[in-house]
Amino acid sequence: MRYEGREALIVGLGQSGQAAARFLATRGASIAITDASSEAQIAPALAEIEDLRPTLYLGGHPDEAFEQCDLIVPSPGVAWNMPQLEAARAHGVPVMGELELAAPELRGRVIGITGSNGKTTTTALAGHILSEAGFKTVVAGNIGTPVLSIVDDSEEEQRTVLELSSFQLEAMRTFRCHVAACLNVTPDHLDRHGKFDCYAAAKRRIFDAQRPEDAAVLNADDPTCRAWGAVVSSRVRWFSRRRAAEPGVWAAEGLIYRDGVPVSDCNLPIPGAHNLENALAATAVCSLAGATDAHIERGLHSFQAVEHRLELVRRLHEVDYYNDSKATNVDAALKAIESFERGLWIILGGRDKNSDYTVLAEPLAGRVREALLVGEAAEKIRAQLAGRTPLRDCGTLDEAVQFARKHAAPGDTVLLSPACASFDQFQSYGHRGREFKRLVEELT
């Protein structure tokens, strides 16, 4: 599609929206922006694109904004079935996500990674391994760098590793991943997608534009991923923490195997069984992208944990404090809980995403001293776990940290793994995690 002379409307001015505005403006489009926030609330973002001289529709999404354009680019956080977008489609106005804009112009081999949990760590780990292997490697997507901001500098020989969320994939039609991986599919974002089948369908789109010579990396231990192995059009490579998975990568007797050949031991610098799964997926992805077993082993052992993902913040008076703020759903919190044996003080709560917290009761039994409840979801969590898990209402993160400091004994662990979104009290999971770290660093 040619963009010169088009009237493009960007819906939502986050990082992706800013990148889309600049991408289209440099290709000759006129830019309009609509955002539900006020001018004061998004002043820093507006300053970033001031030179583009966009038309602004702020404080809501007026119909006028959508009537004046002939191309609409919604940011990933904007619901794909937003009424104004549905009306635009009905009138023949193209509605394109950021991946579709990037599809014709992004050069090099593209590795896409999705999943309900683990995708940020796996994306960062795969990028690290491929850099160790000597490839020009760019890591982008949901991990923080918008896809459209890397297009112009992309090269044919580079490896681009993209973390892709269900929000991004929902809008994907023609974007091709030469290697596409799905780590797991468990209920998440049901407040956006409505039901699990719709959420899973969005995840599955990562494979839709692949060709027979491309590769799909799937978790043999996940029932949804396992079912997809029979229907994707590309070559399937498996990974498994529980069994030999050929062709693919698996763990057995303390070693990581690729097609039966040992690649590395399982004594990795990132803790937890879930991180072993991430390492298995990264091993499969990177071998398909051209890394040797030696490069993979070196990368696995030199990688450092990603911020907000089971990140050790501090040891104080023989108590460890872990920041797992990225655990914004129940399954992610479950994996974090299973990384510890006993003496656990877990901080749960935030904004509910239509989640079922009862599944946490069994893994918490025998491990947790008390679950410290915060935020909007505290009442629902209490209702679902009462009588099965020791609970304490703390209200705020500050109060929970102070309570844990006062009562945790040497050898205990204080874990922020909320199982909820952050938007009740914080701007993002990153904001929540940084605040937790600040509170912990100030303890005496």
Active-site positions read: 119, 142, 189
Going through 326-409 in order, the beta strands assigned E by DSSP cover 344-349, 368-374, 391-395
Rounded to 5 degrees, φ, ψ at 168 are -70, -40
From the CB of residue 249, how many other CB atoms can be counted at a distance below 10 Å?
A: 28
Q: 3-state DSSP helix/strand/coil percent for the chain, to nearest 5?
A: 35, 25, 40
Residue whose C-alpha is closest to residue 132's, from 307, 238, 290: 290
Picking from 333, 321, 336, 334, the residue whose alpha carbon sits closest to that of residue 412 is 321
The DSSP-derived string for 353-370 is -S--GGGGHHHHTTTEEE
- How far CA 16 is from CA of 39, 45, 74, 301, 330, in Å, comes to 18, 11, 9, 32, 27
Any idea which residue has 């978790």 for tokens?
A: 219
- In angstroms, the CA 229 to CA 222 distance is 11
For residue 158, CA distances in Å to 14, 128, 132, 150, 260 come to: 27, 14, 13, 11, 29
Q: Quick one: how far is CA 246 from the chain centroid? A: 27
